[in-house]
Structure 1
Amino acid sequence: MAAALAAFATVPQGLRANRGLTTTVKTRSVSLVSKLTSKRKYGLQQCSATPTLAREALAAPPVSIDSIAEQLKAAGGPKERAQLLLELAKSLPPFPADARTMANRVMGCTAQVWVDAELNSSGRVQFSADSDSDVTRGLAAVLVTALSGLTPAQVLEVEPEDLAELQLGPAVLTPSRTNGFLNMLEAMRKRARVLSGAFLPTFPSLRVSADAIDPQGTFAIAQAKYLEPDPAQVDALVKVLSEKRIGLVAHFYMDPQVQGVLSAAAERWPHIHISDSLVMADSAVRMAEAGCTSVAVLGVDFMSENVRAILDEAGHADVAVYRMAAADIGCSLAEAAEAPAYSAYLGAAAGNAAPALHVVYINTSLRTKALAHAQVPTITCTSSNVVQTVLQAFAQVPGINVYYGPDTYMGANLAVMLRAVAQMSDEEIRALHPEHNRESVRALLPRLHYFESGTCIVHHLFGAEVSQLLREAYGDAYLTAHFEVPGEMFALAMEAKKRGMGVVGSTQNILDFIAAKLAEAVERPFPDTLQVVLGTESGMVTAIVRKVQAMLRAAGRLDVTVEIVFPVASEAITTSANSPADPSQGASAGGTLPGGLPVVPGPAGGEGCSAEGGCASCPYMKMNSLDALLGVCAKIGTPGEALLEAFRPRAYTEPMADGRSIAAAGCEPILYMRGFQASKRLPDALVADILSRKHA
């Protein structure tokens, strides 16, 4: 079950809108027949239905898709329908050899598929396609037949669920071929959009092969600059860490310069770990057990605070922990949970007559976790386990109300996802969680609540504008999205996920998804290019590049490439120190982020982002510079270490009402999460707390 939903990132294929092309997820007032075959609307030539579809009929385009649907329906069982696809494959005109280019390849297909399009003299689209698989070629013939002869605007009206009328269910097509069919449609829609004259933006990207990195655009050039780190900097870092027995934990969102050096140094000093926030503290404990006498934390303050508290709980209070700045390294999301509005939100939960559980995102301070737990029984979650945590709570405690926070986008996305789950079959739902079915999921929806005033300033950039541009220009690419992104980006990635082309989850889920798709590509015996949209903080690129190149080198594949695309929002931010506001360029006078970091909105350059802080780049994370790291390490173990007091994370030693320190109380929701991860059930102590507070 953990693998089935290793957090929302791995929601199984039952969530597909097409369900094997036999079930739609919404009722459409206009059927595919009326959409594509009305002579009055489109002026298409109709074909009469016959038990088999003659090649001569296919050779006289355009043939309506309802005619093909009728032939498939009349063909009888799955074997007959599969045979009809093979007959259709023979009808496709020869595909020009010079059109068999990577630009015409359809991503997400297990076979090689090529699609091309042009406008005829009357302004209608003529598609051509080919595949090295006969069945896939038959599917391509269905789409070429159905869509050729339409205007570009009419092609764009055809949506994946429209193809359900073809009745090519799982008995006819494997899941991979179903996905390939839908990906062909998306590729054709993109080509129709180009032929319509629409402007399709090109975002900056990195093209990564086994032995090269090719940046496209100024932001990508800035990212690529540090992927091959300065050997002298690596030597200096390894020397100081090894001599002073310093462990180092860093988040994926570090600046590329820092990550490049850290990744190279990790090959020579084993006590360096780069990850998402979930395992940073666990890694620090392992380093302490291996003999490290201090730990440097590269992240925002709640990360170093968690490391300090978990080390203390594990009996390593003697191991020093250091942040990378004397000033606060803030987080807009964590600070939203410190606001009075969040306390009021929890106060309402505590006042509910029904049992209540607060599921708090790990990206919050120990103070937030401690004070929240004092109000409402609380368990920590991550973006990779929030879905299972919530489903288990509803299954394990009858009548419970679950209050999620503080990330508004994640909460809203969770609610949307569970509403989609409620439309699945009982069998599909049990694959997600064995104790739930359609009735139970529908019953829990009114009892799921989320805070509505908390956002991450980075993921906030992936809003409507960026999502629309991605839909139009990169709809046929692999789409990744962190669970914290706004609903528009979430919906886009979920649509892609339905056809095997997307993932929504944690940073680790995103990395695992890319690795899985690349593993499939290197197993195929032909060249390939995977275009992946990075829907999270741009610092993630270093881990992706290193993973991709390691896999390609191990496989000996010089003919496979991964292109990492960086979406750009026009509202991307840059620090005012690096990009002063210029009213003549449309930028405002700037402002101040939570924690006091000054920023100015708007693009820093022609691409709408910069290496200093735009393009989904967290300005707080960038406070963890390489110079800061080396400066801290230089003082450790010397008389100068006394100057690092301001670099120590908050200890939260203040007592709570029950006499425990805030740190100890704040660790309890984290330990509950660890217990849940181990047993897949809420810990008995947490359940007892939930029930006892309503009877106190």
Structure 2
Amino acid sequence: MTSLLCWSPAFLGSVLKAARGQPAAKVIRVRTRLSAKLQRCCVVSTKAIAEAPVLQQATLQDVSSELRAAGGARERTRLLLQYARALPRLPASERTMANRVMGCTSQVWVTAELDGRGCVRLGADSDSELTRGLAAVLVRCLSGLTPEEVLQVPLEALEGAGLGEGVLTPSRTNGFLNMVEAARVRARRLADPAAGGFPLLRISADALVPQGSFAEAQAAFLEPDAARVNALVKVLAEKKLGVVAHFYMDPEVQGVLAAAAGRWPHIHVSDSLVMADAAVCMAEAGCKAVAVLGVDFMSENVRAILDEAGHTDVQVYRMAADDIGCTLAEAAEAQGYTDYLAAAAAEGTPGVHVVYINTSLRTKALAHAVVPTITCTSSNVVQTVLQAFAQVPDVRVYYGPDTYMGRNLATMLGALARLPDEEVAALHPAHTAASVAAALPRLHYYEEGSCAVHHMFGAQVTERVRAAHGDALLTAHFEVPGEMFALALEAKARGMGVVGSTQNILDFIAGKLNEALQRPIPERLQVVLGTESGMITAIVRKVQGMLRAAGRSDVDVEVVFPVASEAVTVGGRGGSGAGGEAPRLPGGLALTPGPAGGEGCSAEGGCASCPFMKMNKLAALQTVAERIGTPGEALLEAYRPRTYCERVGGRSLAAAGCEPILHMRAFQQHKRLPDALVADVLARAQR
């Protein structure tokens, strides 16, 4: 039996680097075990393989030496084909969808089991001979190790493997790395058979198959009651009422809205960026009122943008008489954020405040009065910050209020500063790795703001995702904690992940599905949904529409819900706060902890489910619509967006709060910070 590793100084360093943070005794045990295995190492020569095509185990160093000794790309390719001929074929019973490796251009299957000594025995196969050769490298190097040893092999050590340019094209590199990740996932399952995955929803052209109660709750309303749809369409058309809703709505609400949208064109579901734009289009098309299904800052933004567009006569309604809060937006209303901006203004150097769109008009207006401000979204924050650094010499950028997004932004820019200049220029043509590195110390972010939902995607959930679904397509909203963000970035590097906005996530899934539909083979894409679970309705509609249009019944998509055991659910079923009362989020919404075991969530919400968004009920929309144009309309005053009497800089607060939004719109149109904003930044620095 042979080992994977040779104790060269360089490789020893990589092993110790991978083991950093582990207890010293554990590292010593690993070193001792691997050293013992090295004594049984046998070198398989190229000539021996050519003469007797029997796949033998070997160390990574041995395989690398063979490939390098083979000469150029043609010779290495020939050697890989010899490896392929020596690799035992998997039986048809193991060439299943469950054993498929995602992210490979050809079909690849990887299996793993434990032998009598507790070591991993890998099997692999492919319908491409060259890919089979790459799979054979994996099988030769990793078989014979324990599951723990497989997981401790540094990825960068396997990535090179002596394959060289001309053999590992970019697509083959990604494919090989995805095979490695598939082997790692299988090794983790062998190491901890009790560690299960998360609930998931399988989407085919004509069916939904949920696994787990949380997935069942999401799927329950995706085929809505026809009577409810008919009633909503009728009243919306009668009252000329448009509807703009966020992706994070309750599945019941989104299911009815999606069905109604086919018969009433003025229904729009999206992320927060374009909700106000859609409302303007509805007003221009003749809608007399717009219902906003979201949190309060969204209805405020819709009201303000309609006013800016000259549609002051179009009414705007929220879906609750109570405040529909947001933990992130409220973080920016706190004294700490005021102090953060005051300190920025006191620097006396050029500074620009990049504020997340998910904040109130009041926050935007008051912030702009202190530091020149432009809004951003999770999809354009990187470009906004890079453009500020490129366009304004020595500018300091102050991002807020989302701490996780700020950290993730700093992490991404730090990684960008280590890339080749051509890759940096592909993201932003005015930058090099050196310019990004020089700008990074001038990036600041607020340290005390987070979204209650995205906070759930922390270390515990991330480790479970890595263990059970590390070889899946991984998505992460820019607001998630750093652990989930880093995992999605790793996947992105091998073509298997995305980080960004809800729309970025939806586009990524659609793009991967489109790639699968171009291949004439059965496919099953598994996607980890690293954002609010309300996204599932948009994903289902998109996926089923694409599958039906393509006429494919042999392709489906599994959406995995990475729920947390510490998730929360709305309700009052026994509080855990002081005096037995349920704990409350800012804004007063009562919460109770999710179940301690199992999925950690309930049919009422929790996990990756925003309790504030779920305050938008279908019954409220129906009631608001029915009261418009009747004496009962007077009862809707509490449903109007919050109004402000304050004035900022001689303007109404709403007008002042719109200016950072308009700066962002100008940036999106021209790909430059507007001249007025730049002039403001420079002028204030000279005061």
TM-score, normalised by the number of residues in structure 1: 0.92
Aligned to 1:411: 406
CA distance in 1 between counterparts of 2:255 and 2:579 reads 32
Contact 1:124-1:152 within 8 A present in 2 as well = yes
Q: Which amino acid aligns with 1:28?
A: S
Q: Assess, with a 3 A threshold, how the Cα gap between structure 1 residues 472 and 39 changes in structure 2: closer, same or farther.
A: closer
CA distance in 2 between counterparts of 1:537 and 1:39 reads 43
Aligned to 1:675: 666
Higher relative contact order (CA 8 A, sep 6+): 1
CA distance in 1 between counterparts of 2:235 and 2:596 reads 36
Aligned to 1:503: 498
Q: Assess, with a 3 A threshold, how the Cα gap between structure 1 residues 31 and 486 changes in structure 2: closer, same or farther.
A: closer
Is residue 213 of structure 1 aligned with residue 208 of structure 2? yes
Contact 2:390-2:430 within 8 A present in 1 as well = yes
Q: Which amino acid aligns with 1:581?
A: G
Aligned to 2:366: 371
After TM superposition, the runs of 4+ consecutive aligned structure 1 residues lying more than 6 A away are: 34-39
CA distance in 2 between counterparts of 1:85 and 1:259 reads 51
Give the superposition deviation at 1:588: 7.4
CA distance in 2 between counterparts of 1:68 and 1:167 reads 7
Give the superposition deviation at 1:171: 2.8
Give the superposition deviation at 1:56: 6.0
Give the unaligned 5+ runs of structure 2: 1-9, 19-26
Q: Mapping of 1:89-488 within 5 angstroms?
A: 89-488=84-483
| Identity score, percent | 67
**Residue from 482, 486, 489 that aligns with 2:484:** 489
**Residue from 630, 633, 641 that aligns with 1:638:** 630
CA distance in 1 between counterparts of 2:677 and 2:447 reads 25
Pairwise CA RMSD of aligned residues?
A: 2.2
**Residue from 597, 605, 619 that aligns with 2:589:** 597
Contact 1:37-1:65 within 8 A present in 2 as well = no
Give the superposition deviation at 1:594: 0.9
Q: Helix, strand or coil: the match of 2:647?
A: coil
Q: Assess, with a 3 A threshold, how the Cα gap between structure 1 residues 327 and 604 changes in structure 2: closer, same or farther.
A: farther
Q: Assess, with a 3 A threshold, how the Cα gap between structure 1 residues 200 and 681 changes in structure 2: closer, same or farther.
A: same
Contact 2:159-2:177 within 8 A present in 1 as well = no
Q: Helix, strand or coil: the match of 1:248?
A: strand
CA distance in 1 between counterparts of 2:48 and 2:535 reads 51
Give the superposition deviation at 1:151: 1.4
Is residue 613 of structure 1 aligned with residue 613 of structure 2? no
Q: Helix, strand or coil: the match of 2:575?
A: coil
Contact 2:568-2:591 within 8 A present in 1 as well = yes
Give the superposition deviation at 1:116: 1.0
Aligned to 1:665: 656
Identify the range of structure 1 (452-461 vs 104-113) with the bigger mean alpha-carbon deviation: 104-113
CA distance in 2 between counterparts of 1:668 and 1:338 reads 18
1:320-356 alpha-carbon deviations (Å, 9 max, x no partner):
0000011100000000000000000000110112200
Contact 1:213-1:224 within 8 A present in 2 as well = yes
Q: Assess, with a 3 A threshold, how the Cα gap between structure 1 residues 267 and 37 changes in structure 2: closer, same or farther.
A: farther
Identify the range of structure 1 (62-71 vs 155-164) with the bigger mean alpha-carbon deviation: 155-164
Q: Assess, with a 3 A threshold, how the Cα gap between structure 1 residues 449 and 230 changes in structure 2: closer, same or farther.
A: same
Q: Which amino acid aligns with 1:500?
A: G
Give the superposition deviation at 1:37: 12
CA distance in 2 between counterparts of 1:274 and 1:195 reads 42
Q: Assess, with a 3 A threshold, how the Cα gap between structure 1 residues 623 and 60 changes in structure 2: closer, same or farther.
A: closer
Give the superposition deviation at 1:590: 2.6
Q: Which amino acid aligns with 2:557?
A: V
Contact 1:612-1:619 within 8 A present in 2 as well = no
Contact 2:348-2:686 within 8 A present in 1 as well = no
Q: Which amino acid aligns with 2:442?
A: R
Q: Helix, strand or coil: the match of 2:358?
A: coil
Q: Helix, strand or coil: the match of 1:595?
A: coil
CA distance in 1 between counterparts of 2:526 and 2:204 reads 12
CA distance in 1 between counterparts of 2:337 and 2:78 reads 61
Contact 2:114-2:120 within 8 A present in 1 as well = yes
Contact 1:53-1:71 within 8 A present in 2 as well = no
Q: Assess, with a 3 A threshold, how the Cα gap between structure 1 residues 284 and 115 changes in structure 2: closer, same or farther.
A: same
Contact 1:206-1:213 within 8 A present in 2 as well = yes
Contact 1:81-1:172 within 8 A present in 2 as well = yes
Q: Assess, with a 3 A threshold, how the Cα gap between structure 1 residues 622 and 371 changes in structure 2: closer, same or farther.
A: same
Aligned to 1:581: 575
CA distance in 1 between counterparts of 2:631 and 2:187 reads 68
Q: Helix, strand or coil: the match of 2:534?
A: helix
1:380-414 alpha-carbon deviations (Å, 9 max, x no partner):
00000000000000000010000000000000000
Give the unaligned 5+ runs of structure 1: 1-23
Q: Helix, strand or coil: the match of 2:651?
A: coil
CA distance in 1 between counterparts of 2:164 and 2:289 reads 58
